[in-house]
């Protein structure tokens, strides 16, 4: 038995039917105090009314809709990884095809660079020092590209052979590029057959 009126949280304990240590003195007080009894009864009526109300739940897409309008900070490396992931195809044949196309594109660029280099070589025979200087700058850049794409050994061979070397290298690369295109078409046909379930 306690000699004061109950606090709101103590009334909640009684309404909830709590049976913990310390509930007995609260009950004893309520039995002898009409005022607290009235408050407990009132709280019980409210709780019962709340229980009878329909229970609402948010829509299953609620969280998604909210998050669409929330700007989430994305670190640059995560954004970059996601961009790359979107660019990389999902199926293995498509991945191989993309890789082959990348190699083919690099090859075409390298051949174009070789051709430009050859043209610049011919040009300098008849030109002055200004173009000579420009040729040196461009040639060193092209050498960097060719060396990176084919390795220094290939670069040395092509240089040693001069125009004939460039011609042979171009033919080899053209054959390789044609093979790559045929391979890509085969892969595309195979994957479309598989997708069609035949
Ligand atoms: Zn009381």
Looking up residue 51, the CATH number of its domain turns out to be 1.10.10.1320
Counts for the chain of helices (H) and strands (E), in that order: 9, 0
Residue with tokens 């700007």: 71
Range of the domain at 192: 92-196
**Full-model pTM:** 0.32
86 occurs within a structural domain: no
* Ligand 1 centroid from CA 48, angstroms: 22
Same structural domain for residues 71 and 105?
no
Residue 197: predicted pLDDT: 45
Residue 146: predicted pLDDT: 62
* Ligand 1 centroid from CA 49, angstroms: 24
Q: Give tens-digit pLDDT for 23-54.
A: 999 999 999 999 999 999 999 999 999 989 98
Structural domain count of the chain: 2
* Ligand 1 centroid from CA 37, angstroms: 7
* Ligand 1 centroid from CA 17, angstroms: 18
* Ligand 1 centroid from CA 13, angstroms: 15
Residue 42: predicted pLDDT: 96
Dist CA 116 CA 146 (whole Å): 12
Residue 39: predicted pLDDT: 96
Residue with tokens 């709780």: 47
* Ligand 1 centroid from CA 73, angstroms: 54
Q: Which residues of the chain have pLDDT under 50?
A: 197-198
- Which one, of 67, 74, 100, lies nearest residue 178 by Cα? 100
83 occurs within a structural domain: no
Residue 167: predicted pLDDT: 67
Angle at 97 between CA 93 and CA 103, to 5 degrees: 145
Same structural domain for residues 114 and 164?
yes
117 occurs within a structural domain: yes
């Amino acid at each position: 038995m306690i000699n004061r009126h109950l606090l709101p949280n103590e009334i909640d304990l009684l309404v909830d039917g709590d049976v913990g240590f310390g509930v007995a003195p609260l009950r004893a007080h309520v039995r002898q105090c009409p005022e607290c009894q009235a408050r407990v009864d009132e709280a019980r009526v409210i709780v019962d009314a709340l229980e009878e109300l329909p229970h609402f739940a948010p829509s299953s897409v609620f969280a998604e809709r909210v998050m669409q309008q929330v700007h989430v900070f994305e670190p640059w490396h995560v954004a970059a990884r996601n961009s790359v992931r979107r660019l990389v195809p999902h199926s293995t044949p498509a991945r191989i095809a993309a890789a082959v196309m990348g190699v083919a594109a690099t090859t075409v660029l390298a051949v174009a660079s070789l051709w430009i280099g050859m043209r610049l070589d011919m040009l300098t025979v008849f030109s002055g020092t200004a173009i000579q200087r420009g040729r040196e700058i461009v040639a060193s850049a092209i050498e960097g590209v060719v060396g990176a794409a084919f390795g220094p050994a290939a670069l040395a061979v092509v240089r040693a052979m001069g125009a004939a070397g460039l011609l042979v290298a171009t033919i080899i690369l053209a054959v390789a590029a044609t093979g790559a295109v045929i391979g890509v078409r085969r892969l595309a046909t195979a994957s479309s057959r598989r997708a069609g379930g035949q």
